Amino acid sequence: MRGLAPYQTGLWLAEYMDMRCQLCRIYRSTPQSQLLRHQAPSSLHNIVDAPPTRTALKKHSFLTNIVHQANSHLSSGLLCAHCHNDITWLPRPFEVDIAPSISLSIQASTYYEYPIRQSIRAFKHQEDMTKLPLLLHAIRQLPRPHGCHRNNSVIVAMPTTSQRLVKRGFDPVSILSAQLSKYWQIPLWQGIKRIDDTVSQQGLSRAERLSNLDNAFALIEKPPTKRLLLFDDVSTTGASLQALARAFISPTAIKSVTDSGHNSYQISAYVLAHGSKS
């Protein structure tokens, strides 16, 4: 598999050298702060013009902080404010069962529809590097899980099979998960592999997906921590992440956790896109 350097170079150029929005291609630098000021100018300006009472000062400080955080967030993004606001971010998390009384929460950054759907497909199947900056912007919408940091958590990217890796020549999920790792400042862990006798999940029903993924993953080493953050590019039914999570609650995995002094793994999942708004 080729290294990450070419991807890193392309993203660096898109973020720091190309000041155009990665979606509409209109200049994305100055208009962001202007658009943010237009979103809530009246309340902020009214407070500024109001007598400097204690309440007014508190409200002014609060709103100023909000505007500052939003401006800082968008200025570090790769879309203009208009395109950013045009895409609905952070759908409600959904859950799948991985064991009796144990469920896996899956949080997506956005919906699997235009323009994210086309960008993911182009990147995965054609290695279209021009789509990667938009996907990076989407990844940055995922909030780092509360309490997780580099010393107590690891990111577990959805493994691919060696057959698929040879066919594609690269692993798109590993590229995306490396960006999430960099953004969250949480290391990747690659101690689980995918068995080669499974087929692609695309086009399968939920029952077929679950059957196809029976025993699809195998641990090759013990996780270094009990907080596991699973990551995949797209989740339709959650079957792949469900099967991946189950690999960590198998009898063998449970024994390794007990031996290491942990009571259980704390597993949650994150994806680039899920379902649609309709």
* pTM, to two decimals: 0.75
Pairwise CA distance, residues 109 & 270, whole Å? 8
Residue 266 sits at φ, ψ, to 5 deg, of -105, 110
70: exposed, middle or buried (Cβ count in 10 Å: 0-12, 13-18, 19+): middle
CB 73 within 8 A of CB 141: no
Token pair, residue 171, equals 């692993």
Spell out the per-residue pLDDT of the chain, length 278, in tens: 444 566 777 777 777 788 889 889 888 754 444 444 433 333 333 333 445 555 554 444 544 443 344 444 444 578 988 899 888 889 999 999 998 889 999 999 999 999 999 999 999 998 898 899 999 999 999 999 999 999 999 999 999 988 888 888 889 999 999 999 999 999 999 999 998 665 555 666 656 655 667 778 999 999 999 999 999 999 998 999 999 999 998 755 545 544 544 458 999 999 999 987 76
**Edge to edge, what strands does the sheet with 94-99 contain?**
94-99, 102-111, 266-274, 227-235, 153-157
Residue type, 28: R
